[in-house]
A = this chain, B = another copy of it.
Amino acid sequence: MHTEPLYRQLASHYLHAIQAGTLRPGERMPSVRVLMQRHDVSLSTALQVCRHLESRGVLEARPRSGYFVRPQARAGLAPASEPVAALPDPARYVGIHQRVSDIVARGQAATVHTNLSGASGAPGLYPTEPLKNAAIRALRQHPDLFGQGVPTLGVPEFRAVIAKRALAARMNLSADEVLITQGCIEALNLALRAVAQPGDVIAVESPGFYGLLQVLESLGMRALEIPTSPQTGISLEALELAAQTYDRIAGVVVVPNLQNPLGAVMPEAHKERLVRWCAAQGIALIEDDTYSGTHNDEAPLSALKSWDRDGGVIHCASLHKTLAPGMRLGWISAGRWHARVEMLKFTQSRPNEALSQLAVADFMASGAYDRHLRRLRVMLRDQREQLAEAIATCFPAGTRLSVPNGGLGLWIEMPQGCSSATVFDAALREGIRIAPGLMFSNSNRFDGFIRLSCGFPYTRALDQALRRLADVVRRAG
């Protein structure tokens, strides 16, 4: 269904090699003849590979010499700044909801032709047709579905599929440990309510997903913002220092893989160290594993939960970004808090409706899901690279950017002196909506940043909008 043509698969293979630096700018691309022999493909396919990469701006043809790796504009961008490893600010009650709501309301009220503020993809990224058909099949197979109570904890087939797929991220869950929730956001609510009380301190990544800060605010918990690297994720040194210095930390929430907004992936050693440190300190560790499926690399990223030995890690995830933004399907494996989370889910919203679980269990049990994920990864990577390349080409000097290996957004450090609040307003006047850095922390520390979605195909219209946005940033500097 979503099987890529052979030339696209090979093009991806070489694009990957170029991005990884295996083939460097200026180096010669293996010749068409080499490609034919090496991959056992026709002349036409080998030529298509090179022409595709040329059309994408990755290769350039030199007369009578063949194809060469083109110098990438993004190579000229400095990576986003690393946080200064130091003692974080003390934990605070979060007061971000009003700020975020104002920004969202202004964004919604404006006439916007290019919306880069979100963190999900265009409908075309998702297998809407087969999911629709799976839902219709489920309705026909279960004619009394709407006349019967919903299954406790979730639909067994769906829970079984989730447990099975967790194996790839090195987790060993049984279906009984998987509780289906209303998206990852409900899973995070349940996790926090299970491990902490109002007033308690929760350590979070900074910058981090504003939705989590809003949850903490609504639960009356205090956020301890831990500096987080665009490369390696949460600073373990800063976390440990904060734990020694301040009030007891009741829980830590991290996105270990393709963190939002940074796109950081924690190194394996960091993951292990964090799990062990939390276990030793008796601190609950909550992971939000929403983005792993968008990784460039097909090899699955490991979950923090895979290092869990005593049930101290709560794993939360969803299909919102990787399969179906229109379904509210998340889940939680709550380790030693399982019974409490089960109670809280029951009292908070009862089990989820069955239909979308049945449809997705059907889809995920087939090979269609893996084919979809392969296509999603390639499309997102292409969109991300094209967006990064355009930023490198047209944003003002002093712009910094680390292009992550997955995720749905880019986190852009604007030249010194630019304010995301100003850029947000000025961009809206141009019909362009972005996510200002101000949303990603309780402090104003990230006012110099913006997040742009790479969930959309890089069209000519998007290119033009991006150039207008670059002018906005230039004027704001």
Contact = CB atoms under 8 A, between A and B. Distances in A.
A350 interface: yes
Nearest to A324: B146
Contacts of A136: 136, 139
Majority-rule SS of A interface residues: helix
A348 interface: yes
Given A146-B356, A185-B350, A218-B343, 6 more contacts: A124-B147, A147-B324, A148-B326, A182-B352, A189-B347, A215-B348
Interface in A95-150: 97, 101, 118, 120, 122-126, 128-129, 131-132, 135-136, 139-140, 143-150
30 contacts: A123-B144, A123-B147, A128-B146, A129-B143, A131-B146, A132-B139, A135-B146, A135-B355, A145-B326, A146-B324, A146-B326, A147-B326, A148-B326, A150-B325, A150-B328, A182-B352, A185-B348, A185-B349, A186-B349, A193-B218, A197-B220, A198-B198, A214-B343, A217-B347, A218-B343, A218-B344, A218-B347, A327-B353, A328-B349, A355-B356
A132 B149 contact: no
Nearest to A147: B123
Interface residues of A, number: 57
Contact of A123 (B148, B182, B197): B148
Nearest to A343: B97
A193 B346 CA distance: 16
Nearest to A354: B326
A-B CB proximity, top 5 nearest: A123-B147, A182-B349, A128-B147, A126-B147, A146-B326
Contacts of A347: 97, 185, 189, 211, 214-215, 217-218
B348 A328 contact: no
A326 B149 contact: yes
A108 to B, nearest CB: 9
Contact of A120 (B149, B186, B324): B149
A147 B355 CA distance: 16
Interface string A336-375: 0000000110111110111110000000000000000000
A147 B125 contact: yes
Interface of A: 97, 101, 118, 120, 122-126, 128-129, 131-132, 135-136, 139-140, 143-150, 181-183, 185-186, 189, 193, 197-198, 211, 214-215, 217-218, 220, 324-328, 343-344, 346-350, 352-356
A470 to B, nearest CB: 27
Contacts of A220: 197
Given A145-B132, A326-B149, A349 B349 contact: yes
Contacts of A354: 326
Contacts of A356: 146, 353, 355
Contacts of A352: 182, 328
A349 B189 contact: yes
Contacts of A144: 123, 128, 326
A453 to B, nearest CB: 12
Given A218-B348, A344-B218, A132 B146 contact: yes
Contact of A348 (B186, B325, B343): B186
